[in-house]
Amino acid sequence: MCTSVLYKNGSYSYFGRNLDLQYPMGNEVMVTPRNMPLKFRNGMEIKEHPAMVGMALAPDGDFPLYFEAMNEYGVGIAGLNFPKMAVYKKEIEEGKTLGLASFELIPYLLSKCKSVD
C-alpha cells in the first residue's frame, strides 16, 4: 500500500509519497515535453498539452507510465497502490468517450487540467 501527504502553508503546497514495493521497478525522473504526442491504447491521440514531470517508467520509450507527476500549471497527481481495491471493466461501454488503461489516467488528466477546478 502507498502513502501520500499534502502539506499546505499559505499559498505553497508540498507533496510527498512513498512507493511500497519490495523490488526495483527501474523508475526514473521523466519529463514529457509540451505537445509531445500522447498515443493512448484506445486510439485517441493528444497532440497539444502542457509539459509534465514526475517519476515514471517508459518501457516502450513512447508512453510514460507515471507513478506521480505534475504539469506545468502545478496540477499534480499520484497513482497510489491499494491492492485488490480497484475493479476495471474489460470492455468499453457503448456511448462512453474514453476507455483508458489505468496507467494512462495520470497523463490524460495532466494533459487536460490547468487547475483542480
Residues belonging to the active site: 2
Integer Cα distance of 2 and 116 in angstroms? 22
Residue recorded with cell 483508458? 100
Q: Which of 11, 12, 13, 15 is nearest to 80 (CA)?
A: 15
Residues 6+ apart with CB under 8 A from 19: 2, 25, 27, 55, 67, 81
The radius of gyration computed from the CA coordinates of the chain, to the nearest angstrom, equals 15
